[in-house]
Structure 1
C-alpha cells in the first residue's frame, strides 16, 4: 500500500471518529438539557427554596470532579446526568422568581432564544470554518482567574455594576469555551464526548443565566 493510500485511509478513519464524537456529544447534550428542564420544572412545581451559593458551588465542583474521574467509563454517563440534573434543580427557584414578575415569561423566553442563537451561531461557525481555537486557551485561563476574583469580591461587595460586568464576562468566557470545545472535537483534540458535553452544557447554563440577568437589568426590572 502506497503512502498516499495510507494517508487517505487515516484521513477517512479520522473523519469517522470526528463525526461519531460530534454525534454523541450533541445527542448527550440534548438529553442532559431535557433532563435539566425536568428537574427545573420539579423544583418550580414544588416551590423549592433557592439553593445556598456555597452548597451550589460544592455540589457543582464535586459532581464535575466525579464526572471527569469517570469520563472513560459507563459510570461517566450517570455522573453527567447527576451534574446536569443538579444544575437544573438549582435553576428552578431562579426561574420561579423571574416567572413571578410582570414580564418574567417574556424575559425567560428571550434569554432562551438568545442562548440558542449564540450556541448555534458559534457552533455553526466552528463547524463550517473548521478552525483550531486552541489559541484561546491563554485568554480562557486569564479570564477564568479574573472571573473567580470578581465573583469572590462580589460575594462581599454586592455591587450592581460588578454583577453586570460579571454577567458579561461569563457570556464572553462561555462563548469562547463553545468555540474552543467544538474546534477541539473537529480537529482531533477531543475524543471524549462526555467531557465535551459537560463543557458545552456549563457554557449554555452560564450564557442563559447571564442573559437573563442582563435583560432584567436593562429592562428596568431590578
Structure 2
C-alpha cells in the first residue's frame, strides 16, 4: 500500500499520513507517534484539497522551485535571534549538517553549533565578496577566544600579518580585537544606512557622549554608553 507521510518541521514525531482506504483517501494524524484522528476524502475532494495545499505553499515562496540546502552551502539568516541563537538578519554561515527541518552551523550554541530552522535561512548562491576595510563583520576566530562572536567594523587589514590580519573596532571607533577569521555581515536592503557626515550634532550632546564614554567600563557596549549619555542628559 502506497503512503505519503508529511512530518512536522518542528517535531518529526508529529505526522500526517495519506493512504488509500477502499474508495477514499485517508488522512491520519499522529502526535508523538500516537494516532490521534483520521479523515476520509473522496477522490474529487482529495484533488481539491491538494490544489489548496499547493496554493498555500505558493503564498509562502511564490511557487519558486528552490534547490535543497546541503552541507557546504552558505545560508543567510532571515531574522534577528532566529531560533534563540545570537545571530542577526543578514549573517551568513556555512552549513555543517542539515536535515528535513533545520541546519547546523558553527556558533556558540550546543556543542559549538547553532541550530536554525530552514524557514529562518535562505541559500546564498553568489560567491561571497572579500572582506574589506569598513565592512561590518562578526569575529569567528579572534586573537583571543573572548572576542569570538563579537560584531564590529574592519578598521585595518594587515596583509603582512597572516595569523591575525583583521583589526576590528566598534561603531564608535574603539578597538575590539585582532582576528584571524571574520564573517561579513550583509546589511539588509531595507535597513537605513547611517551617514555620519550628513548629521549635525550639537556640541553639548557630543560632550555628553564623551563623558559617558569616560564613565563607562572599557568593555561597555554602544548601547550601554548611550544609556549613560541619556542618563547624564536627564532623559532617564
Q: Which TM class, normalised by the smaller chain length?
A: under 0.3
Higher RCO (C-alpha under 8 Å, 6+ residues apart) = 1
* Greater percentage in strand: 2
* Greater percentage in helix: 1
TM-score of the superposed pair, with normalisation by structure 1: 0.26
TM-score of the superposed pair, with normalisation by structure 2: 0.25
